[in-house]
Chains A and B, each alone.
Chain A
Amino acid sequence: MSDSSAKTAVRSTGIVSRQALARFASRNGIVIAFFIIAAILAVANEHFLSVVNLLNVGRQVSINGILAIGMTFVILTGGIDLSIGSTLAITGMVSASLVIGDSPYSPTVAVLAGIVTGIAFGAVNGVLIARFAVPAFVATLGMLSMARGATLLYSGGRPIPSLSEDFTWLGQGFVLGIPFPIIVFAVALVIAWVTLRFTVFGRWVYAVGGNAKSAKTSGIPTRTVIFSAYVIMGGLAGLAGPVLTARTSAALPQAGLGYELDAIAAVVIGGTSLAGGVGSLGFTLVGALIIGIISNGLDLMGVSSYYQQIIKGAIIIVAVLIDRSRNQNP
């Protein structure tokens, strides 16, 4: 009797520890995947882990990362925003037009103008979706086209070059050896993380995406929450626009083409449910990092950008497939 019970006890602890391991792996699978990919790239190319290259990766990830923060809010409410690539272009254009040559405006004013423009576009999305119940996919698809058209109209289809040096520093400068875009991204990430995790509004975002009807019954202003998510998204696109413009030293009318897809990919690879209510910014960061190191690593290895697109697409699908199978057998 005691012998057999002892044996089952041993066996069950074995199972428990294996279960605990499996649970850890399934919860943090994306983090593990990130380190595996990073290790492979480090082995494949000696330059990958160099400080210069890592800072370069960080600078590239920052723009997509800022967008992915906003996209996390939107997707958590159960929505989607396809318009942010275009929003980023118009906001970059607006801010650039304030800092041409010896313009009297400071870079701060230019960035604020970008953010306000982004918020305005996000607010239109938000009103259409929250107030008039236009499906998010449709409203933001329309906005994708309109904001791009507005960019071309505003710029006459021409880039705005020769921006003030104070302004381009925002994209090219360093603080304590760290590229400034990384600092912008990090600050935005921390504020957003604290908001989602510790504030009433953050809780509401999850509740609205998890079950809008229950949220309404609980007295949550669901429309305001959904509206706010698109405003936050627009504001962050309006922050990313000037930073990208500053990095490239010119506002380009075709800037940000397809950026919405990278932002959505970062959120989805990070395991946030497209149905809403489930997900976290920490994993969105990892998702953005994975996309960043893969394109950087493939660049270093001289893989054609055509192949890169195929690989990136495949990774998104695999990430979701793994997520699916994980959710089906809990």
Chain B
Amino acid sequence: MKEPVLANRAKAGTGQGSGAGDLSAAAATDILLAATGIAKSFSGVPALIDGRIELRRGSVHALCGGNGAGKSTFLGALMGLHKPDAGTIVRNGRVVRYSSPAEALADGIAIITQELSPVLDMTVAENIFLGREPRRGGWFVDRRRMIAESAALFARLHFDIDPRAQMRSLSVAQIQTIEIAKAIGRQSQILIMDEPTSAIGEREAEILFDAIRALQVHNVGIIYVSHRLTDIFSIADTYTVLRDGSFVETGKVADIDRQRLIQLIVGRSLGDRQPRPDRVRGNVILAAEGYTRAGVFEDISIEIGSGEIVGLYGLMGAGRSEFANALYGNAPKDAGELRIDGRLIKIRSPADALRHGMALVTEDRKETGLVLPASVAENITIAALGRFSRGSFINGRLEAAAVNAQIKRFGIRTPSREFLVCNLSGGNQQKVVFARCVETQPRILICDEPTRGIDEGTKYEIYAFLHAFAAAGNAVLLISSEIVEILANADRLVVLRRGRIAGTVAGATATQETLVHLAS
């Protein structure tokens, strides 16, 4: 087993597993990958303490865990993206230490993520052979062979896709099956799939599952990472649970039920919920009814009263951000009525929303929140310039005073008002986004993942701000995929699953288990 990749390449044509003459080693070679005691810290903060997994041929192994459980770090260590501080990885009976994903790929480990972006304007076959095109005469691409080999590959995997089709004409699930075929075409024995169903619908997911089952027949081992427990119970045969960076349990999916798995993922450490001042919910400020965009979110109705923080929880792809943006006039909707203070309001653009006292902290501050090449001051006042201008001229003194007040209020650490916002830390950038929203004097604040990627200290400052803002008689819609955050801050919780409301829970009685159960 010196050259596992080559050995497998010879066998790939027959689609058979380990050689028949090697009976004594059969049990051992059944294990494609075994990792034990993998640890990894980033600048002193441990992200993974004890990562373990044992992947067998033809198995779909679910890797489960909440946010911050260390799954991504673990996968990164397996595929050579991070160099582990401790632990061993054994691949086909051989201790390995990959220094790059390319090395892992050469050793038969492929990863498929949402970020993998195919070349949409090429054909399926061209994408399959991207970077290793068969040639004729050293210069010319052998198109016929490329198409023939792609077709043979699809036939072997029972994928029903035309290799000559344009990539752009395919659905997301089909594109993912192409990625799978690509990996198999490279003789990969191990496939890591990170949240493969987060962007696709239920029927689409079936296409993907069929593809995965086809791989099992070919003795490929699959590490399947998903927050969707439903997926795990329909496709995986084994599971491993990580929590807080450590291995918790592994076993057969057949031996466990949903409730038990949720308990393993969440753990029993629910004692860290802080007491929260009781707020009196006043009149309904915002009432959205029947918000629908076909295929994205359906029939969502939400009410937020004055003084209330309503949490909107759901997995990636559940339609949370899309709904929030539709509410704000930033994205289209097919149906839905909005009332503010009982009056029917039509919102067609963010400008309309701002005029009616709504403000939105978008999901991605760099992509949609900030004007990065502009200064702190310009970013803070950009949505409310009308308040600082006479005619069409900006009153510099008024503006500077307002900016200074915001910098002080949010404790934004910046050398000056004129400092470019792109040079601030993530937490300070997020505070600038909040300051910009506050400058518009909103009564309704929609926060989409407001603490993503920022440090703990800033997180608590933001929570404190949200509570103070609500306590002043305003309404907050808090969208988050962090259960702990949403439990600690929301008075009422609405859970979305695949674009629909799966349930509404009072903040005081909600638990991690109920949220996970409703969402997945």
Contact = CB atoms under 8 A, between A and B. Distances in A.
Contact of B382 (A203, A213, A221, A277): A203
Contacts of B355: 219
Interface stretch (B365-373, B404-412, B453-461, B506-514): B365-373
Given A198-B393, A198-B394, A199-B392, A217 B369 contact: yes
Given A214-B371, A219-B350, A207 B394 contact: no
A273 B369 CA distance: 21
B393 A210 contact: no
Contacts of A210: 371-374
A200 B374 contact: no
Given A206-B378, A207-B382, A216-B330, A199 B393 contact: yes
Interface in A211-244: 211, 213-221
Contacts of B353: 219
A217 B350 contact: yes
A44 B275 CA distance: 80
Contacts of B330: 216-217
B371 A206 contact: yes
Interface in B233-278: none
Interface string A184-201: 000000000000001111
A141 interface: no
A261 interface: no
B350 A214 contact: no
B371 A211 contact: yes
B122 interface: no
A278 interface: yes
A200 B389 contact: yes
A216 B330 CA distance: 8
A226 to B, nearest CB: 15
B503 interface: no
A217 B362 contact: yes
B351 interface: yes
B367 A213 contact: yes
Interface in B382-430: 382-383, 385-386, 389, 392-394, 396
Contacts of B333: none
Contacts of B394: 198-200, 203
B354 interface: yes
A302 to B, nearest CB: 44
Contact of B374 (A198, A207, A213, A219): A207
**Which of B353, B367, B371: most chain A Cβ within 10 A?**
B371
B392 A219 contact: no
A215 B383 CA distance: 8
A213 B378 contact: no
A84 to B, nearest CB: 25
A211 B350 contact: no
Contacts of A201: 392
Contacts of B374: 206-207, 210, 277
B383 A213 contact: no
B368 A213 contact: yes
A216 B385 CA distance: 14
B268 to A, nearest CB: 41
Contacts of A214: 362, 368-371, 382
A219 B354 contact: yes
A221 B392 contact: no
Nearest to A199: B392
B382 A216 contact: no
Nearest to A277: B373
B360 interface: yes
Contacts of B396: 198
Contacts of B369: 214, 217
B431 interface: no
B382 A218 contact: yes
Nearest to B364: A213
A200 B385 contact: yes
B436 interface: yes
Contacts of A198: 393-394, 396
A278 B373 contact: yes
A201 B393 CA distance: 9
A204 B354 CA distance: 16
Contact of A219 (B351, B367, B368, B389): B351
A211 B396 CA distance: 23
A46 B449 CA distance: 66
Nearest to A208: B371
Nearest to B383: A218
Contacts of A211: 368, 370-373
Contacts of B328: 217
A277 B368 CA distance: 15
Contacts of A221: 349, 351
A303 B20 CA distance: 84
A214 B436 CA distance: 11
Given A207-B374, A207-B378, A213-B367, A218 B436 contact: yes
A214 B374 CA distance: 12
17 contacts: A200-B386, A200-B394, A201-B392, A207-B378, A210-B371, A210-B374, A211-B368, A211-B371, A211-B373, A214-B369, A216-B350, A217-B330, A217-B360, A217-B383, A218-B350, A219-B353, A219-B355
Interface of A: 198-201, 203-204, 206-207, 210-211, 213-221, 273, 277-278
Given A199-B389, A214-B382, 17 more contacts: A198-B393, A199-B394, A200-B392, A203-B378, A206-B371, A206-B374, A207-B378, A211-B368, A211-B372, A214-B362, A214-B368, A214-B369, A217-B330, A217-B350, A218-B354, A219-B354, A277-B373
3 smallest CB-CB distances across A and B, nearest first, come from: A218-B383, A210-B371, A219-B351
